[in-house]
């Protein structure tokens, strides 16, 4: 195996190729050649012992400062070779010019830069404080490191961020009593060279270049005083796009299920029962079960060998891990039978896999793809199932009695979840969440999140895509970001909750899905820059999904008005907005207050209710008062109205629901005529579920608390 380590003198060569300054240097691999070094006696130099995989020279006794003397350098070369060679493969001595550089008077001014390259999205540039205390700065300073994926950021955008960072302010002399170490033009020019370095890394197949420290020399240029790197590991074949046609997945005509029995609670049996109620034809369902010709009215075949001449679009394997792998191997051997395989079982490539099934299956896929041989697209393992509303198709192994799936062929919302439980609990929690497509994708052993996004993207009727993901495999975060950009360019929305962000969360994700969580900080910047709506909690995800499902064509958010009949909701709504954005609330003008006062007077509430935002109408308000106040807020210019209805008031129709239905219809007309957002809060218990449903049927986002509705608005505002 070829060593991937890149020593300092080779790194200097790469840097020089893109115009990044390095010291004058000479590499000595034989003491007899020291005299050839381009230095004269007395020149201040740095001697560095260079050895394979030696990252920290000073700790290995491989660093010395002296004035150049050929004999002394030859002696030091031999001494370093003897000392360092005991633990590392010795390469030689680097004799480098000792660079005089500028320093800030009262702040650190050395720079750390690394470029770690992903073949999918290019380099991730990390830029922060350098020198011997790099790791200490990283621990102590909240603003220690800037991270720029080059596929998402331009050098100019990076420069603008760096200018506001403490290190940038030090370099540009923006701190009190500090002088600039370099010009803005010089700093921007250096960043442009880093972007060129990414292109060189792609050509030379370099995986990592790290420079620490870089300093500003007397001419005002950034100079790299040290550097190491790694060559890229051998690239695996790109599995994307997976070998299936659109119709074989979104519009399957034939589906087979293996692992069906009459035993109560049998997973395969529950899947088959749900599939039997789909729009598939009688010939569209098949059971793989030896010994019988018919199961629950569905034709059976004995094994997957029968699929060679009678193929299906999708084969669902509700079988133990070892049987699943063996069956897929048989399909590959016979060269066909199913375009897509859905593996329901776990224990393949996750924390429960003690027998190497994941490696065995990955090896099979890799080998066949490299050889250009037929291989099915594989979903999972740990795939709970899917929902395809146009076909009324439900392949979840959750009985209808537990989860009453409502198909919505005309819906403009889809949900892709690595966790099947997340998918089904969203459907259970939000009774009016009607999905056109719902996918549980499991471990992503073959088909990745980006593959499912690409499928959904092709259906332009889907305006909102919700995603729950615990880990991005390979370079898929970059592929996902590019698809997010595509969605946003078409005026469509992608909402993402990334699980496994903390160390404990990462461990938990790996234990049940085998997720590769990666660095969330980098992923977050990449996805946010692409235009994704990122949520940091389940509550945020739920709230944003409700808003977006109700208003899928949302482009901009106006300011917020609160109308309620409970004082605590006015207080709680403002608390949720927080102190960071006091201007989020629509500010009533004197003219607005007078007009609102007239509305309140017309309903006999002047003197009882203050003309304000938030507006507390007290429990005396009926539907007509609410309607007129909401209309007034919209006419004033509020872009979003949160309407709080504590239904225990006698003034509201919460039992007969005749007035409630008319009220909801008129509210919907208001929202449409003003092209604004209205959200409903019904903070009450089980007896009022039918009351909530009145507003849900009109397509409003309905929340259990004012804080949840405002929480969603906060996220949407910060994402735009």
Give the DSSP per-residue string, 75-116: HHHHHHHHHHTTTS-EEEEEEEE---B---SSS---EEEEEE
Whether 115 contacts 208, CB under 8 Å: yes
3-state secondary structure of 550: helix
Query: Which residue stretches of 551-676 are H helix?
Result: 567-577, 590-602, 623-636, 658-674
- Number of Cβ atoms within 10 Å of the Cβ of 628: 17
Q: What is the pLDDT of residues 661-717, one digit of tens each?
A: 999 999 999 999 999 999 999 999 999 999 999 999 999 999 999 999 999 998 998
Q: Is residue 379 part of a domain?
A: no
The CATH number that applies at residue 70 is: 3.30.1490.20
Q: Are both 547 and 431 inside the same structural domain?
A: yes
Contacts of 202 (CB under 8 A, 6+ apart): 117, 119, 122
Per-residue confidence (pLDDT) for residue 630, from 0 to 100:
97
Per-residue confidence (pLDDT) for residue 239, from 0 to 100:
46
Residue where one domain finishes, among candidates 231, 250, 280: 231
How many structural domains does the chain have? 4
Contacts of 536 (CB under 8 A, 6+ apart): 497
Q: Are both 426 and 568 inside the same structural domain?
A: no
The CATH number that applies at residue 212 is: 3.30.470.20
Q: Provide the β-strand partners of residue 387.
A: 394, 438
Q: Is residue 621 part of a domain?
A: yes
Whether 202 contacts 196, CB under 8 Å: no
**pLDDT mean over 490-505:** 78
Q: Is residue 67 part of a domain?
A: yes
Give the percent of the chain with pLDDT over 90. 73
Whole-model pTM: value is: 0.83
Q: Is residue 482 part of a domain?
A: yes
Instruction: Identify the burial level of 631 via C-beta atoms within 10 angstroms of its C-beta, where 0-12 means exposed, 13-18 middle and 19 or more buried.
Output: middle
Per-residue confidence (pLDDT) for residue 511, from 0 to 100:
36
Contacts of 570 (CB under 8 A, 6+ apart): 562, 564, 614, 615, 616
Contacts of 326 (CB under 8 A, 6+ apart): none
Q: Are both 645 and 526 inside the same structural domain?
A: no
Q: Are both 602 and 709 inside the same structural domain?
A: yes
The CATH number that applies at residue 589 is: 3.40.50.261
602: domain range?
560-718
Per-residue confidence (pLDDT) for residue 407, from 0 to 100:
93
Q: Is residue 240 part of a domain?
A: no
Mean of pLDDT over the chain:
90
Q: Are both 74 and 192 inside the same structural domain?
A: no
Q: Is the dihedral of CA 295, 301, 303, 309 positive or negative?
A: negative
- The confidence band for 189, taking pLDDT boundaries of 50, 70 and 90, is very high
Question: Is 240's pLDDT higher than 50?
Answer: no
Question: Is 583's pLDDT higher than 90?
Answer: no
Q: Is residue 295 part of a domain?
A: no
Say how far apart CA 327 and CA 10 lie, in whole Å: 50
Q: Are both 503 and 598 inside the same structural domain?
A: no
Question: Is 478's pLDDT higher than 50?
Answer: yes
Per-residue confidence (pLDDT) for residue 3, from 0 to 100:
64
Question: Is 147's pLDDT higher than 60?
Answer: yes
Q: Are both 46 and 147 inside the same structural domain?
A: no
Question: Is 515's pLDDT higher than 80?
Answer: no
Say how far apart CA 475 and CA 522 lie, in whole Å: 12
**pLDDT mean over 407-427:** 94
Per-residue confidence (pLDDT) for residue 552, from 0 to 100:
94
Q: Are both 532 and 439 inside the same structural domain?
A: yes
Stronger pLDDT, 360 or 582, i.e. the higher one: 360
- The confidence band for 489, taking pLDDT boundaries of 50, 70 and 90, is very high
Angle between helix 706-718 and 567-577 (nearest 10): 30
Per-residue confidence (pLDDT) for residue 140, from 0 to 100:
59
- The confidence band for 510, taking pLDDT boundaries of 50, 70 and 90, is very low
Residue identified by tokens 């039997």 is: 276
Closest C-alpha among 231, 219, 229 to residue 21: 219
Give residue 403's region: left, alpha or beta (phi > 0; psi -120 to 50): beta
Q: Is residue 354 part of a domain?
A: no
Give residue 710's region: left, alpha or beta (phi > 0; psi -120 to 50): alpha
Per-residue confidence (pLDDT) for residue 720, from 0 to 100:
60
Q: Are both 642 and 518 inside the same structural domain?
A: no
Give the percent of the chain with pLDDT over 70. 92
Q: Are both 550 and 564 inside the same structural domain?
A: no
Contacts of 607 (CB under 8 A, 6+ apart): none
Instruction: Identify the burial level of 4 via C-beta atoms within 10 angstroms of its C-beta, where 0-12 means exposed, 13-18 middle and 19 or more buried.
Output: middle
Per-residue confidence (pLDDT) for residue 245, from 0 to 100:
56
Q: Are both 589 and 686 inside the same structural domain?
A: yes
3-state secondary structure of 344: coil
Per-residue confidence (pLDDT) for residue 493, from 0 to 100:
97
Question: Is 576's pLDDT higher than 90?
Answer: no
Q: Give the tokens for residue 282.
A: 């009688």
Residue where one domain finishes, among candidates 231, 257, 272: 231
- Number of Cβ atoms within 10 Å of the Cβ of 177: 8
Residue where one domain finishes, among candidates 554, 577, 611: 554
Per-residue confidence (pLDDT) for residue 200, from 0 to 100:
96
Say how far apart CA 262 and CA 298 lie, in whole Å: 13
- The confidence band for 506, taking pLDDT boundaries of 50, 70 and 90, is very low
DSSP state of 317: E
Instruction: Identify the burial level of 38 via C-beta atoms within 10 angstroms of its C-beta, where 0-12 means exposed, 13-18 middle and 19 or more buried.
Output: exposed
Closest C-alpha among 458, 448, 510 to residue 480: 448
Q: What is the pLDDT of residues 616-641, one digit of tens each?
A: 998 889 999 999 999 999 999 999 99
Burial 542-578 (b: 16+ CB within 10 A, else e): bbbbbbbbbbbebeebebbbbbbbbeebbebbbebbe
- The confidence band for 119, taking pLDDT boundaries of 50, 70 and 90, is low
Strands (E), 167-276: 206-216, 222-224, 228-231, 255-258
Q: Is residue 251 part of a domain?
A: no
- The confidence band for 242, taking pLDDT boundaries of 50, 70 and 90, is very low
Q: Are both 565 and 544 inside the same structural domain?
A: no
Question: Is 241's pLDDT higher than 70?
Answer: no
């Amino acid at each position: 195996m070829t060593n991937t380590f890149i020593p300092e003198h080779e790194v200097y060569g790469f840097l020089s190729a893109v115009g990044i300054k390095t010291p004058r240097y000479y590499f000595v691999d034989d003491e007899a050649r020291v005299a050839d070094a381009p230095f004269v006696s007395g020149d201040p130099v740095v001697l560095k012992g260079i050895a394979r995989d030696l990252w920290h020279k000073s700790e290995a006794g491989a660093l010395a400062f002296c004035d150049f003397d050929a004999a002394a350098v030859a002696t030091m070369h031999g001494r370093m070779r003897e000392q360092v060679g005991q633990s590392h493969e010795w390469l030689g001595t680097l004799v480098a010019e000792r660079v005089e550089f500028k320093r800030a008077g009262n702040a650190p001014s050395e720079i750390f830069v690394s470029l770690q390259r992903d073949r999918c999205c290019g380099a991730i540039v990390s830029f922060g404080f350098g020198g011997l205390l790099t790791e200490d700065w990283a621990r102590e300073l909240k603003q220690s490191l800037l991270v720029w994926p080059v596929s998402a950021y331009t050098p100019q955008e990076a420069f603008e961020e760096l200018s506001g960072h403490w290190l940038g302010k030090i370099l540009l002399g923006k701190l009190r009593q500090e002088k600039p170490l370099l010009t803005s033009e010089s700093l921007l020019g250096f960043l442009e060279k880093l972007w060129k370095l990414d292109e060189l890394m792609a050509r030379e197949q370099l995986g990592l270049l790290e420079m620490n420290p870089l300093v500003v020399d007397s001419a005002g240029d950034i100079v790299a005083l040290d550097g190491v790197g790694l060559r890229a590991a051998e690239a695996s074949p790109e599995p994307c796009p997976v070998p299936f046609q659109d119709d074989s997945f979104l519009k399957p005509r034939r589906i087979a299920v293996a692992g069906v029995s009459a035993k109560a609670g049998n997973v395969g049996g529950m899947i088959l029962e749900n599939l039997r109620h789909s729009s598939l034809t009688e010939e569209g369902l098949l059971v793989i079960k030896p010994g019988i010709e018919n199961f629950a009215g569905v034709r059976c075949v004995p094994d997957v060998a029968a699929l060679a001449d009678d193929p299906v679009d999708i084969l669902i394997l509700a079988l133990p891990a070892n049987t699943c792998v063996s069956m897929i191997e048989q399909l590959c051997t016979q060269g066909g039978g199913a375009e897509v395989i859905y593996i329901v079982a776990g224990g393949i490539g996750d924390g429960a896999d003690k027998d190497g099934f994941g490696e065995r299956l990955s090896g099979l896929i890799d080998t066949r793809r490299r050889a250009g041989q037929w291989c099915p697209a594989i979903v999972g393992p740990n795939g709970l199932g899917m929902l395809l509303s146009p076909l009324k198709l439900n392949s979840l192994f959750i009985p209808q009695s537990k989860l009453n799936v409502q198909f919505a062929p005309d819906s403009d919302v889809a949900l892709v979840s690595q966790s099947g439980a997340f998918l089904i609990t969203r459907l259970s929690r939000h009774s009016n969440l009607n999905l056109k497509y719902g996918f549980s994708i499991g471990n992503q052993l073959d088909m990745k999140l980006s593959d499912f996004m690409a499928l959904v993207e092709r259906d332009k009727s889907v305006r909102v895509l919700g995603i729950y993901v615990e880990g991005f495999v390979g370079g898929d975060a970059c592929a996902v970001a590019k698809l997010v950009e595509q969605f946003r360019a078409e005026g469509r929305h992608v909402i993402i909750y990334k699980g496994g962000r903390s160390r404990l969360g990462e461990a938990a994700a790996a234990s049940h899905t085998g997720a590769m969580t990666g660095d969330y900080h980098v992923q977050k910047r990449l996805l946010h820059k692409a235009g994704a709506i990122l949520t940091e909690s389940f509550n945020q995800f739920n709230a944003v999904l409700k808003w977006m499902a109700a208003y899928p064509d949302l482009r901009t958010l106006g300011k917020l008005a609160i109308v309620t009949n409970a004082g605590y909701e006015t207080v709680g709504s403002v608390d949720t907005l927080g102190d960071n954005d006091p201007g989020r609330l629509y500010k009533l003008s004197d003219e607005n207050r007078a007009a609102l006062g007239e509305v309140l007077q017309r309903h006999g509430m002047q003197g009882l209710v203050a003309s304000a935002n938030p507006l507390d109408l007290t429990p005396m308000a009926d539907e007509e008062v609410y309607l007129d106040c909401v209309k007034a807020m919209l006419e004033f210019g509020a872009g979003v109205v949160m309407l709080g209805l504590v239904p225990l008031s006698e003034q509201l129709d919460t039992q007969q629901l005749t007035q409630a239905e008319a009220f909801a219809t008129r509210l919907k007309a208001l929202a449409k005529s003003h092209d604004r957002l209205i959200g409903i809060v019904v903070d009450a218990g089980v007896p009022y579920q039918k009351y909530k449903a009145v507003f849900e049927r009109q397509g409003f986002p309905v929340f259990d608390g004012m804080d949840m509705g405002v929480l969603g608005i906060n996220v949407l505002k910060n994402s735009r």
